[in-house]
Amino acid sequence: MFLNSKFPAFLLLLLTHLANHQTQSKSFDQEYANEILSSAQKEKDWLVSIRRRIHENPELRFQEFNTSALIRSKLDELGVSYDYPFAKTGVVAQIGSGARPVVALRADMDALPLQELVEWEHKSKLDGVMHGCGHDAHTTMLLGAAKLLQQRKDELKGTVRLLFQPAEEGGAGASHMIKDGALGEAEAIFGMHVDFTNPTGSISSIPGPILAAVSFFEAKIVGRGGHAAAPHLSIDPIVAASYTILALQQLVSREVDPLHSQVLSVTYVRGGTALNVIPSSVKIGGTLRSLTTEGLSQLQRRVTEVIEGQAASLRCTAHVDMKEEEFPAYPACFNDEGLHRHVERVGGLLLGTENVKEGKKVMAGEDFAFYQDVIPGEMFNIGIRNEAIGAVHSPHSPYFFLDEDVLPIGAAVHAAVAEVYLRDHSHSAI
């Protein structure tokens, strides 16, 4: 800027003050980043021990009683206050002044009905149950954030709520947490999920739609059974099911805008057992996915219409079940633009801008979306990939394995995202 002798002195002074403030703020931010990362690294052994204990003792959705008890015992040791239960096994801790602004962090606790095939010292002790999606790490990292935030509680410019949530894997635990009041007065929420495609020490995300709305369906197509040598005396549900499956495949390819992402997959067909008998009924089932919640609702409606219509055209009847009681439909995850930029900024500060990557839309579901239907939210990924130790397999694989170096990094990112949010929004709190 060109300044002449007539430029008002007070404006020059103001500009100089602002420049100095920005320099000091930048210096403070980097100092803060170094400090919280260093504090987190000092807790690595503590974090690893917690994660391994949870991993060895996995619990399925709404059965996370031991995991919940472990969380509460660690919070007691840290002197962090909490309320329990939410959604049967959930825990909500609170750190800070108790005043606004209030920001929430969430971790899920449940494991999968999966047999672990990774042979290591801390393999699951329970046959057929495994932490195959990283929720043991999510819970551990949020406990790590609790420890870091508790150490800095007097410096927090508001309140952080820590949500330890059950039943993400198909149980819609988030919706139950919300009904039980877990969000409190939170005005924003952040969630973090491990990512096997990016290296440990990196994070990734995108604004807008990031994860799909998801539901499941099952249909029973009923005809009339009989001997295969006399098909004219039967009403064949296998033929009806075949036509139905082919018709369902046209819903996405011929009824959905090609620019809108939707998936319909029939994943099983169950019919008769004899080679010479036409069964009386056939069951089919599968999953529906859409990057918008509205798109999922439309797909559900059309699936029911097509199955019933195709069955009727071949003299069968159909009973369609969207499995809402067992597997409640999940809305789509939609990341708030401002919160996304906040995570990018904080992540760049802690990890370096080269380790903040652009994420990808995925047609998997995540019940974090229920929180985003209530308040602005941001779901981002944290890398766990490490070829040297075999951390290369996708979640829901029996060979899933993660790099435990992520634990202090994730704890620091969680804590910093919350603390910096409070600092940035404290001036607007009422």
Q: Which positions make up the binding site?
A: 133, 135, 169, 193, 396
Which residues, including other chains, have CB under 8 Å from residue 321's CB and lie 6 or more apart? Answer: 217, 218, 219, 220
Structure tokens at 265: 């997959």
Structure tokens at 423: 């600092």
DSSP summary character for residue 393: P
Q: Which positions make up the binding site for Mn(2+)?
A: 133, 135, 169, 193, 396
Furthest-apart CA pair in the chain: how many Å?
Answer: 106
DSSP summary character for residue 110: -
| Angle, helices 65-78/44-56, rounded to nearest 10 degrees | 160
Query: E strand or H helix at 265, and its extent?
Result: strand 262-270
Residue-wise DSSP of 309-369:
HHHHHTT-EEEEE--TTTSPPBPPEEE-HHHHHHHHHHHHHHH-GGGEEE---BS---THH
β-pairing, 281-290 vs 213-222, is antiparallel
**For 244, how many CA atoms within 13 A lie in the half-sphere containing its CB?**
38
- Asked if 220 and 323 count as a contact pair (C-beta separation under 8 A), the reply is no
